[in-house]
Structure 1
Amino acid sequence: MVMTTKRWRIEKPDETIVKTFQKELNIPSISAKILAARGFDTVESARAFLNIDEKSIHDPFLLHGMQQAVDRIHQAINNDEKILVYGDYDADGITSTSVMMTVLRDLGANAAHKIPNRFTDGYGPNERLFREAHSNGFQLIITVDNGISGNHEVQVAKELGMDVIVTDHHEIGEELPPADVIIHPRHPEGNYPYGELAGVGVAFKVAHALYGDYPKHLLEFVAIGTVADLVPLLDENRYLVKQGILALQKSSRPSIKALSTVTSTKQNEITEETIGFSFGPRLNALGRLGDANPGVDFLLEEDQASATTMANLLNDKNKERQGIVSDITEQAVAMVENIDEISNSQVLVIAEEGWNPGVVGIVASRLVEKYYKPTIILCIDTEKGIAKGSARSIEGFNMYQELAKNREILPAFGGHPMAAGMTLAMEDVDELRERLNQQARACLTEDDLIPILQVDIPLKIDEIDTDSIAEVRELAPFGMSFSKPIYGIEDVHIQSMRKIGANEDHMKMEIGQPNATIDAVGFHKGYLVDELTYGINVSFAGDLQINEWNGRKKPQFMISDVRTDEWQLFDLRGIRQVARWLQTVPVEEATFIAFKPDTMQFYESLIPKQIIPYSDELVIENVSPYIVLLDMPQDVHNLEALLSSVKPTRVYAHFYIPDSHYFDGMPTREQFGWYYTFLNKRREFHLRQHLNDLAKHKGWSRDMLIFMTEVFFELGFVTIENGLAKIVEDAPKKQLTSAVAYKKRTQQMDLEQTLLYAPYKDLREWFDARLTAQTVSEEEQ
């Protein structure tokens, strides 16, 4: 049994809807299943989604205040007023600033940009920076991707005589800032058709209104900012990103070409995943480590050599960020592993002085992945006496609501169910941990602390081909509210499997169902080759990919998780080198069992774990569900009793025997007869001196002659003394089969045939019959 560490939730799309979509939309079953799983239930809604076009772009003047904003900006341009574009330090903020700077420059504005420093200025409008802008002669401030919560700072700007236009998409508080104009897709006095634009989407709408025409040349920025900010990829966002990705693939911008080069991306193959995992993190790295303003300069750079230099800077910053994240994660993990009050808590609250506050959210996510517990990572500032950080949560624990129960020790916090940020007094960190732990114990069950794998597109292998995989890309982009599918292939058989890679870290398989097979690859899953066996039903979760090699294209399943509920038999028979088979056994989890004392003596120095001798009094509590059968039982009933008691989920069958009789066979009656006649004629025979010569003369094995002599001895046909065998005169007639040695050899040969020399399939069936019988018996009770 392979025990996945996750709870699989396998969703089954409505088959009627799937078949209707296939027929009416002329799409493969995989695409139809994805649409059904994403909530589309009519052909009309699915067709509209598939055929999204420029009609999805809403009139920018539907945004409340847009006309006033456009009038004020044109007035500033006409009067040569200095305009400050005030952005945010993440990828959405950088691209928003780039969009606004582009349109202002194109219209001849006297404009500059400013992005606050995360560490010295904090998030959003900053009074010091606004006063500095005033002293530098700026008359109009346009915020992008921030400002909706900057009530005090906007008031200061107004008092200084500057006008302020706020463009933002974040949550609106109870009171709006006193800006001259607020452009927000969810403005309480507005009725804009779509409220989930990213900050760059709002800036793009302003640019659209200022140009008076749809600014396609800004779509690259919109795609980067929208994907990186994790807003829903539906409605207008979906069209903007879809078109933006196409623009990125063909872009002549030096910055995009440089980003593609530095990330080893083929520009014509850019996707939303390229943005999310390559472009976005490099832009974000600037703001996480310090000044994000160079990000805007980079995106707007017109010289290729300069853009390449700046792209390398972004890459270096990202590597630096990765190193910092790794260091803090390592320290945080060490604290979880070594500090009881942290490790024993249902909510991990970890604080340390000197940690970079720009990356603690990433660290919190890493720990949630590792421990699957709600996690808060805090940076302690001893000079200010505060702890500041980020939280990430799991399903079932609403982080925002649980933090809200502790307002008296959380003077500043915000967020949503799965993520939050906060500031508190450093002396209250332990108190917060204790409170949240108690709250978690009240609302989280043991199952809640097992990570969930949502398998939402179950497939049969015969549905999968290169054409259907290619058509799935027509549904892209995937992201928030239209998540990338996780495919499941249930109850397949492994046709072949092997470890691949220089260090054999990875795995390649062929898996099959009746009449269909597919190649499957598991990166960093080479260990599964030692945990999976043939002949069982296995389920796989993962992604689909087209593998192209030497001009030939084949579908390929990329494995993310594996599950089987069946017991497994691992065949270690005949492998003499202990080190070779021992490395395939999970030693710490397994119980090594020996039926014979000689086996224990033989292996005790070779196996780094205690060997348990089999006996009728074996304490089952000491036996794990992973058992290693080192040798053959003396009686098959011993093994059957063991299986009945332990009910193993894994059986490692080694069945070592020092001397096998199976291939020697049982001497025939003629052989017994000849040997008895030979002894009778000689009357006595010196075994030690002449046995080898007799074996050579007859072409028999020495062991066979010793066995026949033992049978004669047990039946009273001969006596043996000091190696001399003598015929017993007038010995009573007895059946050869009545000798104990004869019975033991027969039993041993039968056991060897059943357990040691049987084909794997037959051996598994033997075990399966006994383990299945136990299960049926238990169900009947």
Structure 2
Amino acid sequence: MIHRKTRWALAEWEESGEGAAEKLSKGLSLPPLVARLLVQRGYRDEESARTFLYGDESGLHDPYLLSGMKEAVERIRLAGVRQEKIRIYGDYDADGVSSTSLLVHVFRSMGLNFDYYIPHRALEGYGLNEKAIALAASEGVTLIVTVDTGISAYDEIEYAKTHGIDVVITDHHEPPDRLPQASAVVNPKQGHCSYPFKGLAGVGVAFKLATALMERPPLEWADIVSLGTIADLMPLVDENRILVRYGLQRMRKEPGMGFRALAEATGIELPTIVSTGIAFGMAPRINAAGRLDHAKRAVELLTTPEYDEAILIAIQLDTLNKERQRIVETIVKEAEEQWLTKRLASEDQGIDPPSVIVLSGEGWNVGVIGIVASKLLERHYRPVIILGIDAETGKCKGSARSIEGFDLHAALTECEALMDHYGGHQAAAGMTLHRDHLESLEQRMSQLAKQWLTGEDWIPKTHVDIECGLEDATLDTITQLSLLEPFGIGNRSPRILFQSIQLADRRAIGKESKHLKLSLGGGRKLLDAIGFGMGEMASSMPAGSRLDIVGELSINEWNNQRKPQLQLHDLHYMPTPLSSFPSREQFGQVYQWLRGVKRAPEQGLTMRIAGQVSLTVEAVQLMLDVFEELKFIGRHDGAYVAATAPEKRELASSERYRAAKEQHDRLHDLA
């Protein structure tokens, strides 16, 4: 028996959806599975589906629909006329770096007098600060344009005014109740802003400003926009989908100098890059600059026109990322040791371990603790808070990650008396507090988790898009699934459920047999499936059994051949009890047949033997497992091979035989 590791949440399917899917399939010449997925995601008519699949720059909204855009453009253009010195003020993450880099290109093309500034993560922290403003004033800056930051900087804006500096804010974070009194505030999430799409990244808002300034969408820099949008986990729908699609196309065909250098330094294949290549290949290296050094290095990469400079920076960022990985591994190891100690202490006291993991350490790099929190969340599936402690002051800076159903921001609000500062949302948050309050924070957060969560909430959930059959898993269908790309937040790669699908064959593959390869289906129609890290399951399910499987459809290309493939996420197998346990004579009959053929290919063998000797495939698989355990047969190059001179052993000496016999007898007695 193999139990599913997660809760499967199959999206609801209304009967009316079938008719809508049929119309889409015919009207847009789409495979039925693709049409059903479109309906499932809310695109029920041809117009909306066509816009989603093929939307271009005509689908981008008028930037002047953003409140404050007119004032922002007028103030920047006035600065250009006056030759004022402008400073772009960004953030140190990939979205902030992308936003800053985009405006560097735009202001450069406009011939403005400008420079840029990004605060140091460890020394200055997030957002506008008074020292940076005073520095700008001393250097003759009269206009600051923020990107990906500024919406909460009320006091800092007032301070800038005392130094004769105007500020234009462009941001996408949640606005506070009291908005800064800046020259212009551009943020689609402002309550009074009627902009039709609220999901822009910081770089997306900067792109709208650029569009207004240049009086056209500057799609030549869509690659930079796609980087920040994907890295900041923005929903890939509406404008984001259009911008990321253009950005990926540009990376594949005409990548900017920085992207060319980064790809060369890291082995990323730009001609075939997809959104995951940005998310897991490029974004971590861009972020590494701000985590371990200074984010200006990443801006230099994305704005330099010189190849020699770009490749040097790309190599430096790749090296920083490797160092970041090493630091993360070290902190994860120390954190796991702390967590084990806490769990053992709880066991000694006869109590449950904390429901929320709160771990801290002196010297833990605050630039990577969010990554550490994510890794522990993945391993233990409970809310996690990781904090770095300043040994001199006792101040702790923390990052938190949560499971579905536990609202971190709401929980931290309940604990606000313990903290100096906090912010975030349901799934992720940050905070600062003194180390003396850590124990109280752990206790209170754990109490809230116990109050708010049910037993089921502690089990990871897999969201399944749709159920389909083997007939849907064709090369043409899988190829056209790419029309739904780019995949990411808000538009994930479809997760498909196959129920009660027959297992034709299974085996462990790869180094140390770590991975699982399945052949699914009956007859001539088969679908290969690969489960990474699932190799130990191969011996737990006999060929011919029925499985429930969740995975993602893809195409496996090998030796110029293209075949459908399913990448496994989770599976469930419940063995079918033998209705009739095979007799010793039947065991002997099958064994003699195997000795006669000498070499029997595994593919389809159980069904072949079952048909010849009138047994179920489960019974035949039991026999093969018993023979293999007793070393009567072995496996070599995908085939069963009878031993030349096997040692004489009784069937009952096989553990597999005894277990199956006991299960059969017990069920027979109950009947």
Report the TM-score when normalising by structure 2. Answer: 0.85
Shift of 1:562: 2.0
| Corresponding residue number in structure 2 for 1:31 | 34
Q: Distance in 2 between matches of 1:37 and 1:764?
A: 45
| Match 2:128 to one of 125, 128, 139 | 125
Task: Give the superposition deviation at 1:530.
Answer: 2.8
Residue 556 of structure 2 corresponds to: 547
Q: Distance in 1 between matches of 2:144 and 2:11?
A: 49
- Separation in structure 2 between the aligned mates of residue 225 and residue 504 of structure 1, nearest angstrom: 39
Q: Determine the C-alpha separation between the residues in 2 that align with 1:223 and 1:153.
A: 30
Question: Which amino acid counterpart does residue 553 of structure 2 have in structure 1?
Answer: L
Residue-by-residue CA offset, 1:510-563 (whole Å, 9 max, x unaligned): 111466211112222222223332232112222222112222211111122221
Consecutive unaligned residues in structure 1, runs of 5 or more: 575-648, 659-748
Aligned twin of 2:193: 190
Residue in 2 that maps onto 1:75? 78
Q: Which moved more, 1:14-23 or 1:517-526?
A: 14-23
- Higher alpha-carbon deviation: 515-524 or 9-18: 9-18
Q: Distance in 1 between matches of 2:386 and 2:92?
A: 20
**Could you tell me which residue of structure 1 aligns to residue 68 of structure 2?**
65
Provide the residue aligned with 1:318 in structure 2: 321
Q: Deviations over 1:593-615 (max 9, x none)?
A: xxxxxxxxxxxxxxxxxxxxxxx
What code does the residue aligned with 2:248 have?
I
1:774 offset after TM fit, Å?
6.4
Confirm or deny: 8 A CA contact 1:92 1:226 kept in the other structure. Answer: yes
Correspondence for 1:459:
468
In structure 2, do the counterparts of structure 1 residues 182 and 82 end up closer, same or farther at CA, with 3 Å as the change threshold?
A: same
Match of 2:286 in 1: 283
Aligned to 2:248: 245
Counterpart of 2:202 (choices 195, 199, 203) is 199
C-alpha spacing 1:468/1:263, structure 2 compared with 1 (3 Å)? farther
Question: In structure 2, do the counterparts of structure 1 residues 772 and 289 end up closer, same or farther at CA, with 3 Å as the change threshold?
Answer: same
Cα displacement (A) at 1:336 = 1.1
Distance 1:769 1:39 in 2: 49
Aligned-partner residue type, residue 228 of structure 1: A
CA shift for structure 1 position 276: 0.8
SS of alignment partner, residue 155 of structure 2: helix
Tell me the distance in 2 between the aligned counterparts of 1:657 and 1:480.
51
**Contact 2:508 / 2:535 at 8 angstroms: preserved in 1?**
yes
Compared CA separation, residues 221 and 769, structure 1 to 2 (3 A): same
Q: Distance in 2 between matches of 1:12 and 1:201?
A: 32
The alignment status of 1:234 with 2:243, answered yes or no, reads: no
Task: Please list the CA deviations of residues 418-464 of structure 1 after superposition, one character each: whole Å capped at 9, or x if unmatched.
Answer: 11111112101001111111222222222211111222222212211
Q: Does 1:493 align with 2:502?
A: yes
Q: Is the 8 A contact 1:262 1:311 kept in 2?
A: yes
User: What is the rounded CA distance, in whole Å, between the counterparts of 2:268 and 2:201 in structure 1?
Assistant: 25
Which residue of the partner structure matches residue 712 of structure 1?
Answer: none
**Structure 2 partner of 1:208:** 211
Contact (CA 8 Å) 2:86, 2:143: kept in 1 or not? yes
Amino acid paired to 1:272:
S
Which structure ranks higher in relative contact order (CA pairs < 8 Å, sequence separation ≥ 6)? 2
Residue 160 (structure 1) aligned with residue 160 (structure 2): no
Q: For 2:659 and 2:512, locate their aligned partners in 1 and report how far apart those are by CA, in whole Å.
A: 31
Change (3 A) 1:517 1:384: same
Segments of structure 2 that go 5 or more residues without pairing to the other structure are 347-351, 589-621, 632-648
Distance 2:317 2:507 in 1: 39
Tell me what 2:114 maps to: 111
How far residue 407 of structure 1 moved from its aligned partner, in angstroms, is: 1.6
In 1, Cα distance between equivalents of 2:25 and 2:666: 44
Distance verdict in 2 for CA 1:395–1:655, change over 3 Å: same
Give the counterpart of 1:178 among 177, 181, 184. Answer: 181
Instruction: Please list the CA deviations of residues 551-601 of structure 1 after superposition, one character each: whole Å capped at 9, or x if unmatched.
Output: 2211111122221133689x9x99xxxxxxxxxxxxxxxxxxxxxxxxxxx
- TM-fit CA distance, 1:405: 1.1
- The equivalent residue for 2:13 is 13
Question: What secondary structure does 1:9 align onto?
Answer: strand
Query: Could you say which residue in structure 2 is the equivalent of 1:85?
Result: 88
Structure 1 position 395 matched with structure 2 position 398: no
Task: Classify the secondary structure of the residue corresponding to 2:2.
Answer: coil
Does the 8 Å CA contact 2:555/2:562 hold for their aligned counterparts? Answer: yes
Q: C-alpha distance in 1, partners of 2:294/2:309? A: 18
The TM-score with structure 1 as length reference comes to 0.73
| Map 1:768-779 → 2, pairs under 5 A | 770=665, 773=668, 777=671
Distance 2:155 2:520 in 1: 63
1:468 to 474, 477, 489: 477
Contact 1:533/1:568, CA 8 A, preserved across alignment: no
Large movers: runs of 4+ above 6 Å: 654-658, 762-768
CA distance in 1 between counterparts of 2:310 and 2:424 reads: 36
Distance 1:455 1:333 in 2: 31
Distance in 1 separating the partners of 2:235 and 2:628: 58
**Which SS does the other structure have where 2:142 is aligned?**
strand
Question: Equivalent residue for 1:616?
Answer: none
| CA displacement 1:206-261 (0-9 Å, x = unmatched) | 11111122212111111111111111111111111111111111124221111222
Question: Structure 1 residues 234 and 435, CA, compared in 2 at 3 Å: closer, same or farther?
Answer: same
Residue 271 (str. 1) matches residue 274 (str. 2)? yes
Matched, 1:509 2:512: no
CA distance in 1: counterparts of 2:97 and 2:499, whole angstroms: 44
Letter in 1 for 2:417: E
Find the aligned partners of 1:324 and 1:568 in 2 and give their Cα distance. 51
Residue 546 to residue 74, structure 1, CA distance change in 2 (3 Å): same
Please show how residues 413-432 of structure 1 align to structure 2 within 5 Å.
413-432=422-441
Letter of the 1:475 partner, please give it.
L
Question: Partner amino acid for 1:338?
Answer: T
Q: 1:419 is aligned with what amino acid?
A: A
Contact 2:169 2:182 in 1 (8 A): yes
Please tell me whether the aligned partners of residues 11 and 458 of structure 1 are also in contact (alpha carbons under 8 angstroms). no
AA at the equivalent of 1:266: E
- The AA in structure 1 aligned to 2:245 is K
**C-alpha displacement at 1:509, in angstroms?**
2.2
